[in-house]
């Protein structure tokens, strides 16, 4: 999360491009940051899917938490979500193994299990009866 990056906490990110040379070029440009480790990928489809679809999945994870279920149930939801992300990545021309890395499982875990996640909090608030419109106002 941005707050942790601003505090100087170590983090990782993925630069993806069909042209791996360009991805490595960006990686090297960003390698001057002491607390950010940049990885490269030649699978922009998989990275984009992992980055985008973690958001609605995290809303669902928040809903699971909002219903009062514990970590066992939440873990089961996240594991099944990662499986479905792999299938979708393959169907859309991405590499399903990309979902096993930072841009898939990494983002999914972060967004589904952290109270800092707006999407996770959104799901919890929906289960308390708040409307999407009210949640979006904040």
Write out the catalytic residue numbers: 54
Distance from CA of residue 55 to its chain's centroid?
Answer: 7
Backbone Cα Rg of the chain: 16
- What is the number of residues in the chain? 138
Chain mean position to CA 112: 8
- What is the β-pairing status of strands 36-41 and 11-16? parallel
Beta carbons within 8 Å of 78's beta carbon, 6+ residues apart: 57, 61, 108, 109, 112, 113
Residue 57 near residue 113 (C-beta atoms within 8 A): no
């Amino acid at each position: 999360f941005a707050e942790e990056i601003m505090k100087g906490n170590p983090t990782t990110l993925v630069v993806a491009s069909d042209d791996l040379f360009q991805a490595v070029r960006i990686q090297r440009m960003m390698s001057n940051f002491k607390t950010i480790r940049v990885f490269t990928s030649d699978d922009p489809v998989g990275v984009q899917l992992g980055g985008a679809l973690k958001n609605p999945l995290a809303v669902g994870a928040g809903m699971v938490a909002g219903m009062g279920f514990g970590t066992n149930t939440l873990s089961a939801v996240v594991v099944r979500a990662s499986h479905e992300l792999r299938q979708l990545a393959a169907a859309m021309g991405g590499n399903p193994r990309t979902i096993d890395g930072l841009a898939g499982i990494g983002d999914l875990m972060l967004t589904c299990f952290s109270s800092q996640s707006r999407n996770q909090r959104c799901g919890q608030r929906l289960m308390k009866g708040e409307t999407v419109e009210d949640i979006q106002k904040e």
